[in-house]
Structure formats: structure tokens, C-alpha cells
């Protein structure tokens, strides 16, 4: 006899944030009756972001948590079943796909949309966490606008750090790029751009000891690891660009991942290498990492899931 405790659904969305909630809105409107598991951080990275000024439709800007509340409520309006739990196990070896929640609940889903996102890597300083969104940021493109005409520091040595440092230099009076070794990992062309930018100063063999300030960033205490010299930079903004970690551990061995652990998608589509499993948002995007692009791919994943089901006469 079939196990009556197993829940059978057409569309399961794993993860919230702009990608997951947008996928839910489209899937709900297509009558796929999606079930969305938010994960441990409902709303994703935007829930720890204060002012969002670059998302269309909010001419006065919006607080990140409020924006995600708006997304969630729109998904609920069209009938999305939102569950504040984590998915802890998946089995994509057969169809329908098998998924288990943290409470042990088993789901068999005809389609799965992965929207688990990525998390910024941090230095691990207590002052860094204290001043998060009070001058400390992991996204120069998102937050650089707020520091026009000011001095800022940025930590990192790769292409992202180089790109964000030169971006900040267009807005800020001076940019201090802190590199922990005696060389950068960035490509030669990106390094050349850094070195040619007049208001951008590179500090080699430098680590951050503390970010100063109470209600906002008032400086950065740095140390030269070779000489032991300690100094304070007079910055009002502090950016961390040491990479992101995709939240894809759950899917290792189940679908194809890139070398950097991002989920490999068919270019221009949301398809993974497993039929009926789609991916959207920062779990597959290590280039743009913006709310608006995540939302766009969430739309794509839902449309692809709808077509997949329709072609098989499941919906």
C-alpha cells in the first residue's frame, strides 16, 4: 500500500529571497500549487540589508526586510504554501524527486526549484558584525552609492575585490584596498585598472584588526603583518570582498556543480542536469549577485517548471 504520510506535490521551491519568492509568485499564478521551504534565513541576504535603492518599483528606496516581506506576501496572495523549515536531504535519482524536511517529513515533487542562494564570506571580527549595515557591507554595487565623496576601505585580492574597488573609486574621495598577501589573485587586466586608479591606494601584507565606531564606521585599525606596524584609516565605509559561498552542500552528489560549488545551469536557462530540477538566484550566479537578477531567474525557473509539467501532461 502507498505510504499516506508522503506528501505529493507538483512544485517544491527550496529557499526564499528574491529568486525563491518570485518563482513562487509565477508558479502560483500558473496553478502549480507550489510549496516553499524558506530555510534557516527566510528572505535571504536582503534581510540583513538596510536601504535598497536600486530595485525597480521602489522610487524612495526600501528596507531589505520590508522588501522581502512584500515579496512573501505577494506569493501568499496567489496561494503559495510557505513553510518556515529547512530541507535537509534530497534524492534526485528518480522521479518524482524525493525531499525530506528537518522534521523528517517526506515530499515527492514532480519539479524542484532550487533557490538557496549564497552567503558572503566575512573576516570574523566582532566589530564587523556589530557594524553590519552601519557602514560595513559585502556589496559595493549595492551600497557604494551611500558613500559618495567619502573615504572607504575594501578587503580582498581577487577579481571581485578589484572590480568593486575601482567601482567605489568612481564614487568615493579615496579607496583603501587591503590585501592580506604581497600579491593579488586578480587577473592582470584587473590589477592594472587598480594600479592606474589615482584615488585608490593598495596596502600589501595588511590585515584588519578592528573596525572602529559605535553607530557607524569611524575608522579601520589595520596591521602590517611583516613589520607589525598598526595604523588607523579614517574611513566611514568598510567593504568585504573575499568571496561568496553558495549554499549548495545539500545537492552535492545529486546534481552537477561547478568547481566553485555553484550549481551548473544550462546557459540562458534554469535547467540543471537533472530533469525536473531547476535552479535560480545566487545558487547559480557568481557574477551579478543582485536582487533584480535573482528575481529574473526565479521567473525563468517557474516558467521552465510549468512547461516541463505541461509537456508531460502532469498539470
DSSP string across 91-131: E-SSSSEEEEETT--EEEEEEEEE---EEE-----HHHHHT
Q: Catalytic residue among 142, 280, 282, 285, which?
A: 142
> What is the mean predicted confidence (pLDDT) over 87-99?
96
Domain map of the chain by residue range? 7-119+244-311, 122-240
pLDDT of residue 142: 85
CATH topology of domain 7-119+244-311: FAD/NAD(P)-binding domain (3.50.50)
pLDDT of residue 64: 86
The H-or-E segment that residue 309 falls in is helix 291-311
pTM: 0.82
Confidence band of 280 (pLDDT split at 50, 70, 90): very high
The 10s digit of each residue's pLDDT in 110-159 is 999 999 999 888 999 999 999 998 999 998 988 999 999 999 999 999 98
Domains 7-119+244-311 and 122-240 equal at CATH topology level: yes
Among the residues of 144-290, which ranges form H helices? 159-169, 188-196
The 10s digit of each residue's pLDDT in 10-35 is 999 999 999 999 999 999 999 999 99
Whether 113 contacts 303, CB under 8 Å:
no
pLDDT at residue 215 greater than cutoff 70: yes
Task: Determine whether 142 is an active site residue.
Answer: yes
pLDDT at residue 192 greater than cutoff 90: yes
Task: Determine whether 11 is an active site residue.
Answer: no
pLDDT at residue 106 greater than cutoff 90: yes
Task: Determine whether 143 is an active site residue.
Answer: yes
Confidence band of 1 (pLDDT split at 50, 70, 90): very low
Q: What is the mean pLDDT of the chain?
A: 94
Q: Catalytic residue among 51, 70, 139, 299, which?
A: 139
The 10s digit of each residue's pLDDT in 30-63 is 999 999 999 888 877 787 776 788 899 999 989 8
Confidence band of 205 (pLDDT split at 50, 70, 90): very high
| Better-scored residue on pLDDT, 157 or 2 | 157
Confidence band of 2 (pLDDT split at 50, 70, 90): very low
Count Cα atoms within 13 angstroms, Cβ side, for 156.
Answer: 30
CA dist 64 and 23 (Å) reads 19
pLDDT of residue 305: 98
pLDDT of residue 3: 58
Write the class of the CATH domain 122-240: alpha beta
Amino acid at each position: 500500500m502507498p505510504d499516506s504520510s508522503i506528501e505529493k506535490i507538483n512544485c517544491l521551491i527550496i529557499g526564499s529571497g528574491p529568486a525563491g519568492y518570485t518563482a513562487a509568485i509565477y508558479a502560483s499564478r500558473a496553478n502549480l500549487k507550489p510549496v516553499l521551504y524558506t530555510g534557516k534565513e527566510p528572505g535571504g541576504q536582503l534581510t540583513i540589508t538596510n536601504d535598497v535603492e536600486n530595485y525597480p518599483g521602489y522610487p524612495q528606496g526600501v528596507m531589505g526586510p520590508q522588501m522581502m516581506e512584500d515579496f512573501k506576501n505577494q506569493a501568499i496572495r496567489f496561494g503559495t504554501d510557505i513553510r518556515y523549515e529547512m530541507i535537509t536531504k534530497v534524492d534526485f535519482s528518480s522521479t518524482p524527486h524525493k525531499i525530506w524536511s528537518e522534521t523528517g517529513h517526506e515530499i515527492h515533487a514532480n519539479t524542484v526549484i532550487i533557490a538557496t542562494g549564497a552567503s558572503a564570506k566575512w573576516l570574523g571580527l566582532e566589530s564587523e558584525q556589530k557594524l553590519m549595515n552601519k557602514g560595513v557591507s559585502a556589496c559595493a554595487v549595492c551600497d557604494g552609492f551611500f558613500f559618495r565623496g567619502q573615504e572607504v576601505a575594501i578587503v580582498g585580492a581577487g577579481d571581485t575585490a578589484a572590480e568593486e574597488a575601482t567601482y567605489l573609486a568612481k564614487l568615493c574621495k579615496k579607496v583603501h584596498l587591503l590585501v592580506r598577501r604581497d600579491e593579488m589573485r586578480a587577473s592582470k587586466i584587473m590589477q592594472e585598472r587598480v594600479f592606474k586608479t589615482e584615488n585608490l591606494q593598495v596596502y600589501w601584507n595588511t590585515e584588519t584588526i578592528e573596525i572602529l565606531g559605535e553607530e557607524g564606521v569611524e575608522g579601520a585599525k589595520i596591521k602590517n603583518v611583516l613589520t607589525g606596524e598598526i595604523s588607523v584609516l579614517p574611513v566611514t565605509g568598510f567593504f568585504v570582498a573575499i568571496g561568496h559561498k553558495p549554499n549548495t552542500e545539500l545537492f552535492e552528489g545529486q546534481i552537477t556543480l561547478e568547481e566553485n560549488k555553484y550549481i551548473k545551469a544550462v546557459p540562458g536557462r534554469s535547467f540543471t542536469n537533472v530533469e525536473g530540477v531547476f535552479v535560480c538566484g545566487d545558487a547559480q550566479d557568481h557574477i551579478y549577485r543582485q536582487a533584480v537578477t535573482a528575481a529574473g531567474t526565479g521567473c525563468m525557473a517557474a516558467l521552465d517548471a510549468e512547461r516541463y509539467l505541461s509537456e508531460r501532461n502532469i498539470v
